[in-house]
Amino acid sequence: MSEENVFAGRTALVTGGGSGIGKAITAALLDKGTNVVVLEISPENAEAAAAELAGGDRLTFVAGSVCVRADVEEAFRVAAERYGTVHHLVNNAGTASLSLIQDTSEEEWDLIVDTLLKGTFLCTQAFARQAVEAGAGGTIVNISSLNAVAATDGLGHYCAAKAGVMQFTQVSAGELGRHGIRVNAIGPGTVNTPLGAGFTVGRIGQEFLDRTLVSPPRHQEASDIADVAMFLMSPAAQRVTGHFIPVDGGQHVRGLHSYWDVAEAQGLVSRPG
Ligand SMILES: NC(=O)c1ccc[n+]([C@@H]2O[C@H](COP(=O)([O-])OP(=O)(O)OC[C@H]3O[C@@H](n4cnc5c(N)ncnc54)[C@H](O)[C@@H]3O)[C@@H](O)[C@H]2O)c1
C-alpha cells in the first residue's frame, strides 16, 4: 500500500496546531488526506490557521488547553463524533519563558511544566484508551526539544519538562507497543516559529547560527520538523519506537550554547548580583 493511501481517510489529533510546528504538521497531514482535529488554546491562532489551511470538512479546531482533562476529552469526543477512531496523536502544544531559577515563580513553573508534560500525559492517556478499545493501533509523536538533553541557563522549567517528555515517550512505547501503537519524540533545535523567534531572527539569530549550527547554516523551519513527524507516523517507520530524534541541523555537535548567555551578550537580560 502506498504511503498516500495509508494516510488518506485516517484521523489525527494535533495539539497546538494553530501556529508554528503544529500548524506545519497539520498542513502535512491534510495534504495526505488525513482528517485533523486541533486542540488549540488561542482563538486568534485557531482562526488564522483555519483560514490559512482551508481544510474544509477534514479540519476541526477545538478550543481548549492540553492541561485541562475536560478539554482533552472534549477534543477526542469531537474527533470520534466527526471522524471515528483517532490513529495519530501529535503532542506539540507548548510555551516557554526565559527565567533564572531564583526568579522563576511557582505559577511560571506550573504553566510551563503542565503545558509540556501534564498535557502530554493527558492526551496520551485519552488517545491510548480509545485506540486500545478500537484495536486500531496507531502512532504518537511527542514534540520534545533538544533542551531535553542540552541544559541551558534560564530554561530550568522547560528543560526539566522536555526531558520528562523524552522519558515518558520510552515508557509509553513500552506500554503501548503490544497494542500496535508506536511512540517517538522529536527534539527540535531552534525553529523559526513565533515561539522560537527570539533566537532565530535578528542579531541573536545570527549569533546562534554562528555558534551552534553545523551545516547548512540556517535555523530549522517548522516544515523540517513536520517532515520527520510524517516519517515517524508512516509505515516506513514501523520498526521505530521509543526513540528521541533530534532535528537540529547539527546543533548538538557543537553543544547548545546558553540562550541566556546569548541574550546577555546582546544586552537583553542581565544576571543579578
Ligand atoms: N520553536 C522552537 O525553537 C522549538 C524548539 C524545540 C521545541 N519546540 C517545541 O515545539 C512545540 C511547538 O512550538 P512552536 O515553536 O511551534 O510554538 P508556537 O508558539 O508557534 O505554537 C505553539 C502553539 O501551541 C498553542 N498552545 C500553547 N499552550 C497550549 C495549551 N495549553 N493547550 C493547547 N494549545 C496550546 C499556542 O497557542 C500555539 O498556537 C512546543 O512544544 C515547543 O516547546 C520549539
pLDDT tens digits for range 1-55: 444 569 999 999 999 999 999 999 999 999 999 999 999 999 999 999 999 999 9
Q: How confident is the model at residue 254 (pLDDT cuts 50, 70, 90)?
A: confident
The CA–CA distances, whole Å, from 117 to 14, 69, 132 equal 15, 13, 22
Would you state the pLDDT for residue 210? 78
> Which atom of ligand 1 lies at the shortest distance from residue 162's CA?
43
Question: Could you tell which of 13, 193, 256 is best to mutate to test the pocket of ligand 1, judged by most ligand atoms within 8 Å of the CB?
Answer: 193
Pocket of ligand 1 (CB under 6 A): 15-16, 18-22, 39-42, 45, 65-67, 92-96, 115, 119, 143, 145, 188, 190-191, 193-196
Closest residue by Cα to atom 24, ligand 1, is: 16
> What is the rounded CA–CA span in Å between residue 47 and residue 247?
29
Would you state the pLDDT for residue 139? 98
> Which atom of ligand 1 lies at the shortest distance from residue 16's CA?
24
Examine the pLDDT at 59 and tell me if it is beyond 80. Answer: yes
**Average pLDDT value for residue range 257-266:** 67
pLDDT in tens, 176-216: 999 999 999 999 998 999 998 877 878 777 877 777 777 67
For residues 194 and 19, the answer to whether their CB atoms sit within 8 Å is yes
22 CA from centroid of ligand 1 (Å): 7
The answer as to whether 165 is a domain residue is yes
Would you state the pLDDT for residue 272? 67
> Which atom of ligand 1 lies at the shortest distance from residue 194's CA?
20
The answer as to whether 214 is a domain residue is no
Q: What is the mean pLDDT of the chain?
A: 92
* 267/64: higher pLDDT: 64
Structural domain range at position 232: 3-194+221-254
The answer as to whether 63 is a domain residue is yes
The answer as to whether 153 is a domain residue is yes
* CATH number of the domain bearing residue 239: 3.40.50.720
72 CA from centroid of ligand 1 (Å): 16
- State the total domains in the chain: 1
The answer as to whether 213 is a domain residue is no
Would you state the pLDDT for residue 201? 79
> Which atom of ligand 1 lies at the shortest distance from residue 71's CA?
32
The answer as to whether 263 is a domain residue is no
92 CA from centroid of ligand 1 (Å): 6
The answer as to whether 34 is a domain residue is yes
94 CA from centroid of ligand 1 (Å): 3
pLDDT in tens, 116-173: 999 999 999 999 999 999 999 999 999 999 999 988 888 999 999 999 999 999 999 9
Would you state the pLDDT for residue 215? 67
Examine the pLDDT at 255 and tell me if it is beyond 80. Answer: no
Which residue in the block uniquely carries the three cell numbers 517548522? 222
* 263/223: higher pLDDT: 223
The answer as to whether 16 is a domain residue is yes
Amino acid identity for residue 130 in this structure: Q
Examine the pLDDT at 238 and tell me if it is beyond 80. Answer: yes
Would you state the pLDDT for residue 1? 43
Range in 84-88, 136-140, 266-270 with the lowest mean pLDDT: 266-270
Q: Would you name the residues annotated as active-site residues?
A: 158
Question: Could you tell which of 53, 62, 65, 95 is best to mutate to test the pocket of ligand 1, judged by most ligand atoms within 8 Å of the CB?
Answer: 95
115 CA from centroid of ligand 1 (Å): 9
